Amino acid sequence: MSGERSVDSRDGSACGCMLGLAIGDALGAPVEFSDRAAILARFGPEGVTDFVARRGQPAGAYTDDTQMSIATARGILDWKAQLEGAGASPEAGRGDDARPRVVEAADLDVLALAVWRRYVEWSNSPECPLGSPGHRTLATIHAGVPLTLRDPVNPGARGCGGVMRVAPLGLIGLGRLAFEAAARCATLTHRHPISDTSSGFLALLIDRLVSGGSLDEAVDEARSELLRWPGHEAALDVVDSAARLAAGQLGDYEAIGHIGHVEVEEPTAKGKGWVADEALGIALFCALRHRDDVAAALRAAVNISGDSDSTGSITGAILGAALGDDAIPETWRERVANRELLIDLGGRLAACAARGGAAV
């Protein structure tokens, strides 16, 4: 594993993650419910290559994927403030010896509830309908009872509504606990082991990237933790498929068709990425195939017959964390909605890690 990043480098990586997820979301949002044939007919042989307006919203506007990621980030900051205020080490307040206490697994229950409260707040806000949120997410939130890993599995909760929003949990220095934290926060609305494990893999991948690891190193470490979790088989399949296909000779679109086993990826089909494992696998493939080119990775991720805003958002989160904000095309950084908020949240989350993360 590479050495830990400097504070400035971690800040750029965290801001890159927040900007990247919003930019990928905004790029894919206008074509989310279009099949590939319709996308190419509308935008030409390269498909959508830049922000465009959608359903009355301006170019650069994002959807519920980013809205909920922002809610996750705000919940994390609420939790960190609570943790540091109530749980300082015995030495806190003694001059140079003061330090925040180490995060433990038991703290993750409190974290999940802090994030849940921000989801409830978001669901009641005027911006929520503009993001076209998923039915399962809203139904669970409006029912008023957050789900936990102890609840029975819901066979119909395999959707990507959990994994799309957990990237911020990889930005605060949780180490291996990032996996469990993301599983818990995804399962608040999506109680399914495929959602849990896909979300956990993504958050730990992000954690390792912002800590200075290469993309290959980060994948290996997140994969090792994935193997420890029950119900990991589907997530493992897409992770391994993404790595194999990224190193292969198939073109981007054809390769994406081989990731996952739930839907088919054809020009006039419903497409892939609607479920958690496929969304993760497609994003990981695009990031690995175009590891030094954020624009190429995002365009590959969104020009599909599937959940284009989610696959774009997850891809942007991964490469934004891996390469930092400067690697994202300036025209997108400048034009994405609420860029200052995204940068502020990235910096504040990175500062959490600088103040002390989890000793794991």
**What pLDDT score does 50 carry?**
98
Q: What angle do CA 270, 276, 277 make, to 5 degrees?
A: 95
The 10s digit of each residue's pLDDT in 28-62 is: 999 999 999 999 999 999 999 999 999 899 999 99
Domain-embedded: residue 265: yes
The 10s digit of each residue's pLDDT in 3-31 is: 455 567 899 999 999 999 999 999 999 99
- Top pLDDT among 67 and 99 is at 67
Which amino acid, residue 3?
A: G
**What pLDDT score does 90 carry?**
33
Domain coverage including residue 256: 7-86+108-147+156-355
Query: Whose CA is closest to 327, among 359, 349, 295?
Result: 295
Mean pLDDT of 246-270: 95
Q: Are 160 and 193 in contact (CB under 8 A)?
A: no
Mean confidence (pLDDT) of the chain: 92
pLDDT beyond 50 at 267: yes
Tokens read off for 357: 């993360």
Q: What's the domain count of the chain?
A: 1
Domain-embedded: residue 290: yes
**What pLDDT score does 241 carry?**
98
The 10s digit of each residue's pLDDT in 53-89 is: 998 999 999 999 999 999 999 999 999 999 887 654 3
Q: Are 302 and 309 in contact (CB under 8 A)?
A: yes
Residue that is written with structure tokens 């290959």 in the block:
216
**What pLDDT score does 102 carry?**
74
Domain-embedded: residue 93: no
Domain-embedded: residue 91: no
Domain-embedded: residue 348: yes
Domain-embedded: residue 270: yes
pLDDT beyond 50 at 289: yes
Domain-embedded: residue 125: yes
Q: What is the pTM of this model?
A: 0.94
Percent of the chain scoring above 90 in pLDDT: 88
The 10s digit of each residue's pLDDT in 126-156 is: 999 999 999 999 999 999 999 999 999 999 9
Q: What is the CATH number of the domain that holds 179?
A: 1.10.4080.10
- How many helices (H) and strands (E) would you count in the chain? 15, 0
Task: Give the integer Cα–Cα distance in Å for 197 and 202.
Answer: 9
Domain-embedded: residue 360: no
